[in-house]
Chain A
């Protein structure tokens, strides 16, 4: 099967810093592909480059292809309308707007917003329509950030650290939702929580020193503790402290 997204030789410089130095990988047309690497290695920079949000004082070169067309250099709003859904790090919901307004903002002319689908996934969003998004809990904000992207049809979802800073129980909820979402649309996921990675990801791409250090099956990567430790600097229990929480759930389901 052809990949949904092909990144080739992607380099990004921001304010003179060479953050990505020739990154190449592909995203499979189904399931979750996870992007891993230590803090500051450029995972978020990669997602932002794909969706055209490289900052003004930076420049991106190389090629990013989706369905034959090159995405690099096209304005963000066009890319998003073309079927690229982006859930940013730290959620970035509009705190001063109500939940309903946050969702309404994502509506597009010429297409019917899939409110029934979103409310089926997140009944909470329907109930809290008139609440200000800024007063939602972190987990609810994450649901809103995912929900507003799902109002429209997407060909690929980019999701940046959806479980960051969330309570263990909420991490599990978010992972469940992403699992269901990934049944219908491919996802490129940045995630630090290895338990969540284990549960969701089929493919893994590991960045190190601005390049792709390893790519292949996620199960294979995680099975080898030594490999995981050398690439990610984790695995010896020094990570978020939450790996165990999402793990057992997998056995239950």
Chain B
């Protein structure tokens, strides 16, 4: 029993990480039609900025309030990079979908290489508060605190995102824009401002994933974003493009499936099952659990 609980909670921790990456991807794709391969870069920037801040930023450190400050710095760096990418690289190619994908592909290659050039290709130990290395006993299972931290963070982000989308003017514009972008502009709204905003939100969530993923794995390396990104893509497609709630459900499904199958079956089978799930969902319901039909 305790194994099942442990697997469920670590699976949820993984799901939380996927959700943090996928929610931004999903909003960016849903609203702006941009398949953002550079999203993994935002994650890397968040992770390295947090790592850098805890060693160099006055007041920041690996513990207590200093850790919060370091993570905040990492998130701010992620937002900054995401906004710059949108304004400088994506916006001039507005509604030229393929070119936008190509630019984000180039950016993901160049950006990861730049991280590697600056901090080396090898994984570096990540500064983390002592309590995140410990475990908490839940119903007989010893669950790593870092995983619980991820779950709590993802739940908070989910709640905040839903509240933002539900109650604010920009949230309304984003929800409407995911449905029919053209009609939003035909009501006199400059929808491109909302693009910048979803990039900023996506950058923040991905950077947070980078920082907390660093805590979870204990290390940070330039390529970390890339492998997470592929599963985040899968989560986005299964959940339905543009749907935050869909991303959350899909992330939980993928995280749990992966964790349980990898434990009870041969290692790696869980990852294969996730792809099989993707194929089944696409064949039965091309628009995912929720959200608009995933066409170009």
Contact = CB atoms under 8 A, between A and B. Distances in A.
B84 interface: no
Contact of B185 (A76, A94, A106, A152): A76
Contact of A105 (B96, B184, B190): B184
A111 to B, nearest CB: 10
A56 B187 CA distance: 19
B189 A105 contact: yes
A3 B186 CA distance: 23
Contacts of A88: 183, 186
Contact of B186 (A56, A86, A96, A108): A86
A191 to B, nearest CB: 19
Contacts of A96: 175, 179
A86 B183 CA distance: 9
B188 interface: yes
Contacts of B184: 105
Given A53-B182, A92-B183, A97 B175 contact: yes
A220 B172 CA distance: 47
B4 to A, nearest CB: 37
A171 B95 CA distance: 36
- Counting contact residues on chain A (CB < 8 A from B), the size range is 20 to 34
A77 B190 contact: yes
B176 interface: yes
Interface string B178-207: 011011111111110000000000000000
Interface string B106-132: 000000000000000000000000000
Contacts of A51: 186
Given A56-B95, A104-B172, A105-B172, A94 B188 contact: no
- Counting contact residues on chain B (CB < 8 A from A), the size range is 10 to 19
A152 B176 CA distance: 19
Contacts of A56: 95-96
Contacts of B175: 94, 96-97, 101
The B interface, classified by DSSP as helix, strand, loop or mixed, is helix
A75 interface: yes
Contact of A97 (B176, B185, B186, B190): B176
Given A94-B180, A101-B172, A75 B185 contact: yes
Interface of A: 51, 53, 56, 75-77, 80-81, 86, 88, 92, 94-97, 101, 104-106, 108, 148, 152
A81 B173 CA distance: 16
A97 B172 contact: yes
B186 A105 contact: no
Contacts of A53: 182, 185-186
Given A94-B176, A104-B172, A148 B187 contact: yes
Contact of B180 (A86, A92, A104, A108): A92
Given A56-B95, A56-B96, A108 B188 contact: yes
Given A56-B95, A88-B183, A94-B183, A77 B176 contact: no
Interface string B46-76: 0000000000000000000000000000000
Contacts of B188: 77, 80-81, 106, 108, 152
A56 B189 CA distance: 19
A96 B186 CA distance: 18
Contacts of A152: 188
A171 B184 CA distance: 26
Contacts of B183: 88, 92, 94
Given A56-B96, A105-B172, A97 B187 contact: no
Given A94-B180, A97-B172, A97-B176, A105 B187 contact: yes
Nearest to B97: A56
A108 B169 CA distance: 11
A196 B95 CA distance: 37
B247 to A, nearest CB: 16
Contacts of B189: 77, 105
* Closest 6 A/B residue pairs (Cβ): A80-B188, A76-B185, A81-B188, A92-B183, A77-B185, A94-B176
